Amino acid sequence: MTQLFMEPVQKFVTSAGRCIYTFPVLAFPSLVANIYVISDGGRVILVDCGSGMEQSNKDLLAGFTAIQETFGDPIGLADVDVIVITHGHMDHFGGLPFIRQHTGAPIGVHPLDRRVLSHYEERVVVAARQLETFLQRAGVSAESREAIMAMYLYAKGVYRSTPVQFSLEEEQAELVGVQPHHVPGHCPGQVCLQVDDILLTADHVLSRTTPHQAPESITNHMGLAHYLDSLARIERLEGVRLCLGGHEEPMADLPGRIQAIRQVHDSRLNRVLDICREPTSTADISRQLFGEVHSYHILLALEEAGAHVEYLYQRGELVAANLEEIEQEPNPVIRYQRV
């Protein structure tokens, strides 16, 4: 197994004197996620809770112990007053059934991700259908589709629906104690949380990785267009001194990081246009963009390629080149060509 370097617990203090503790959990064997605990000496807010996998839960408990031992702040899971989930991805909310055994604190998430947490089984069945259609139209072979769907459904089998007590909307800053900013794109209900002069960017902006994109045709309010709009939104925020992401390291230069992420998408969009001088399926575009990838990365690459193709198609820079086929078949492979 890959040995990942994990930071110990860290503490940041906001301009208003609030403490933000953060520690990593191993959400999946090769994915470290950051947990945040905000304390003003009275109210304690827990932001995200890991994947719910055994190691992730252990790391979560160890993180609270480390806060006590390192900083002498006697906070445990039972002291949490509010639980805020930054978005509906498993590495951020999957630990909810586990922490429910330790605290009855109300759980909040943006309304667009609420049903993912509270009606998970229904959501998986419906999302799987959408995904299958996408894969078919992308030109993924039947055999490969079956393998991808099995992987998708296996990874989703760990969580059990957990009731959500409140919707995390921007006007509720006072109730929650932090200012949510809705930034759809990476996930429909993605929020950044502003705590005085520190912004928890969750998976909207990360220090090293360009956050994953998937097409809106699979899930509404995702897709590159929403994401780029949301980047501009966060760029306009004033008074942000430091950003802390849902993974990876703290970021001092938010505008610089946003610029770098935009450049990655710009060059990827140009590459897609280049590839589509000849009619090309999304699966072939994905192969040309990302080369040979394995296991879950096959799906991630296809979604990423799909998001870029969709963005260009929406803007009329690509057209479907095989109209006759599309007309005749129920779920045809679409071949895109640049205009």
Closest distance of CB 66 from Zn ion, Å: 21
Which positions from 19 through 58 interact with Zn ion, judged by CB under 5 A?
Answer: none
Kindly tell me which residue out of 48, 91, 113, 310 binds Zn ion, with binding defined by CB under 5 A.
91
Minimum gap (Å) between residue 19 Cβ and Zn ion:
23
- Answer whether 165's CB lies under 8 Å from 84's CB: no
Q: Between 195 and 205, name the residue whose CB sits nearer to Zn ion.
A: 205
Give the three-state DSSP class for 66.
Answer: helix
The smaller minimum CB distance to Zn ion, of residues 24 and 246, is found at 246
DSSP letters spanning 107-139: EEE-HHHHHHHHSHHHHHHHHHHHHHHHHHHHT
Binding residues for Zn ion, total number by CB under 5 A: 4
Distance of alpha carbon 143 from the chain centroid = 28
Q: How far is the CB of 218 from Zn ion (least distance, A)?
A: 14
Helices then strands, counting H and E runs in the chain, come out as 12, 14
Closest CA to 39 of 84, 80, 99: 80
Q: Write the interaction track for Zn ion spanning residues 240-269; mark x where CB under 5 A is met and - where it is not.
A: ------x-----------------------
Nearer to Zn ion (CB atom), residue 18 or residue 89: 89
- SS3 category, 10: strand
Residue 212 — φ and ψ, nearest 5°?
A: -60, 140
Query: Could you say which residues in the range 200-219 bind Zn ion, by CB under 5 A?
Result: 203
The reply to whether 89 sits near Zn ion by the rule CB under 5 A is yes
Q: CA distances (Å), 124 to each of 46, 52, 88, 321, in order? A: 26, 17, 12, 32
CB of 116 to Zn ion, least distance (A): 11
Indicate whether 304 belongs to the interface with Zn ion (CB under 5 A): no
Shortest Cβ distance from residue 159 to Zn ion (Å)?
Answer: 14
Residues that bind Zn ion (CB under 5 A): 89, 91, 203, 246
